[in-house]
A and B are shown apart, each in its own frame.
Chain A
Amino acid sequence: MANDYPQGVDMAAAIAAGFILDRRDAVPKLIGRHEDFLFVTGLAGTARDIAALTHDGAHIYTMAGAMGGACMIGLGLALARPDKRVLVATGDGELLMNIGALATIAVLNPANLAILVVDNGHYGETGYQKSHTSLGVDLEKIAAGSGIKRTRTLAGEADLAEGSRMLREGNGTAFVVLKVKPDDPPPYKRNLDPASCRVRFRGALLGAG
């Protein structure tokens, strides 16, 4: 396996720092029945994670640009549809680009919104440069400091069951960091056209028109 890691990644150091879980295994386990959620994802890694999990379903809106928007798209959707559970799945780099969104979300604290950060400590899409979370930044503390009351970092298999519960229930927005190895997401090819994905999503959720 050692030779299969992405070029430039110091996997031993990453594992020593707590980035242990395999995202291809942990993300599906954590989410469980994906049909229970409306998804908004970040770019690259989490878009592939969720597209692979749902076979690029009509209940997902994945991004491939406009970096930093995932959490706020999720907030707008959660406020519009309090009858549905909204799960934002994004990466550490995408979240860091608009970290103030956590303050905005904490103030409103919608109970039907959960944020899952698949944190591999790297910018995987651009060549696995280290992100701030490999260099001392703790996203859960930032979320808690922003005022989000339900936060958790999942670092091992034993944490996944509790993480799953947090994504699915609770009286306020949940923020869950899933620490994973800096290794590639599923090689799933999803629809990259943001306009057709919008029509697909709205058609499935709202009906025709």
Chain B
Amino acid sequence: MPGEDGNPARWQDELYDLLRRHNVIQFAYVPDAGHRILIDRSLADPGAQSVALTTEEEGVALLAGADLGGARGVLLMQSSGTGNCINMLSLIKGGHFPFLTLVSMRGDFGEGNPWQYPMGQAVEPVLSAMGVICLRIEHPEEVVPTVSAALTMVFQGGNAVAVLLTQKLLGAKAF
């Protein structure tokens, strides 16, 4: 999936390094093309724990457990997966757990698949309703500063934050 600058690998590698510098260890994911490099790097990293989920809500609970044990993690998912997380976010909101998720957007800028619109367009209102702060990224140069801000908001500020990697950033999948 090419970004606007035609080089998605660079910001994705920088993003992985940034997460690891901030002691993010548990990488939970449902596979998605937008997160391919993060997933592959976590699988190849002996210092990381890569957790393949069957559904995204598992990752919400996983990260609460990681926090109980003093570890940091991130949930990597596609916009459609946010809908699978909603009631489990009761745990995050009610328990004041720190929570970081990176969401690769579909049903967004230039989307050609009509099935992706209902959940894609509902991501922000639904996450906001459950107390998750949403930060959108549209340009590659915003990735590192935005995720740096999110890491501070989550692990120092004690918040739940979703960073939305938009289709302006990722490019729309061709159909």
Contacts and interface: CB of A to CB of B under 8 A. Distances in A.
A2 interface: no
Interface residues of A, number: 37
A80 B61 contact: no
A81 B95 CA distance: 20
Contacts of B51: 75, 79, 104, 108
A208 interface: no
Given A67-B87, A69-B57, A195-B96, A205 B70 contact: yes
Interface in A22-77: 38, 40, 61, 63, 65-77
B73 A76 contact: yes
B68 A100 contact: no
A77 B87 contact: no
A16 interface: no
B90 A76 contact: no
A84 B70 CA distance: 13
B58 interface: yes
Nearest to B69: A80
Contacts of B59: 72
Contacts of A135: none
Given A79-B26, A194-B94, A73 B68 contact: yes
Given A65-B94, A66-B91, A75-B62, A81 B55 contact: no
A74 B65 CA distance: 6
Nearest to A102: B54
B70 A76 contact: no
A206 B67 CA distance: 10
Contacts of B63: 76
Interface of A: 38, 40, 61, 63, 65-81, 84, 98, 100-101, 103-104, 107-108, 194-195, 197-198, 201-202, 205-206
Given A76-B68, A98-B61, 7 more contacts: A71-B61, A72-B61, A72-B65, A73-B91, A76-B64, A77-B68, A107-B52
